[in-house]
Amino acid sequence: MNKQRTVATTEAGPGERSPSVARARILETAAALFYREGVRAVGVDLVVERSGVAKTSLYRHFTTKDDLVVAFLEQEDAEYWRDWDGVAEKAKGDASAELEAHIRWIANHILKPTYRGCPFLNVATEFPDTEHPARAITTRHKLELHRRLAALAKQAGIRKPAELADQLGLLFDGAYMNGHLTGKKGPVRSFVSAGLALLRLAQEQE
């Protein structure tokens, strides 16, 4: 998941002239700006200004702004699943405990002061065209979330694992959006209890 980032504001130094370092600097800056301010609100010129990297260097690594948006989402996707796998490792061997751990992990993330919504839902909202390359990544991410939830539900012995994955996926997305809109004093307060209630109900129907 997206973590708080510090946007670079200084000029690139001699050690930052290598292509790999320049690309990382551009992507780090763009990711922070996209997450905090929205993709459409952030222009390439602002990314160049904040990163301290020349515009020619930016276009050398990202031919279009869409390429930069795709790289941002790919990075978010990889980061999300690294965090997911870290949570899973702590509950290894107990699918029900892992499902509960993921619910609590997501709740804690939403309540952080740096939280600005789910980057995948944010971008999907900004780009309604289903053919846009960014939409392909957001769709893939949500389908993978469903797949993982269904697999855990099946391991936990849930009779209808896909149905529970549907319900939890909808609950997660609702919490992601509502948590950004109303904060910790809003309905997101009930996210954990609602998630656990769905899990218990599914277990009782085994």
Q: Which residue has the higher pLDDT, 12 or 142?
A: 142
Condensed to tens digits (0 to 9), the pLDDT of residues 85-110 reads: 999 999 988 999 999 999 999 999 99
Q: Quote the pTM value.
A: 0.87
pLDDT in tens, 112-141: 999 999 999 999 999 999 999 999 999 999
CB 147 within 8 A of CB 168: no
Q: Which is nearest to 188 in space by CA: 105, 103, 84, 110? A: 110
Domains (ranges, CATH) in the chain? 14-63 (1.10.10.60), 67-204 (1.10.357.10)
Alpha-carbon span 180 to 154, nearest angstrom: 31
pLDDT at 147 exceeding the cut of 90: yes
Please return the burial class of 11, using the count of CB atoms within 10 Å of its CB with bins 0-12, 13-18 and 19+: exposed
Structure tokens at 160: 């209808």
pLDDT, tens digit, 9 for 90 and up, residues 148-193: 999 999 999 999 999 999 999 999 999 999 999 998 889 999 999 9
- From the CB of residue 50, how many other CB atoms can be counted at a distance below 10 Å? 20
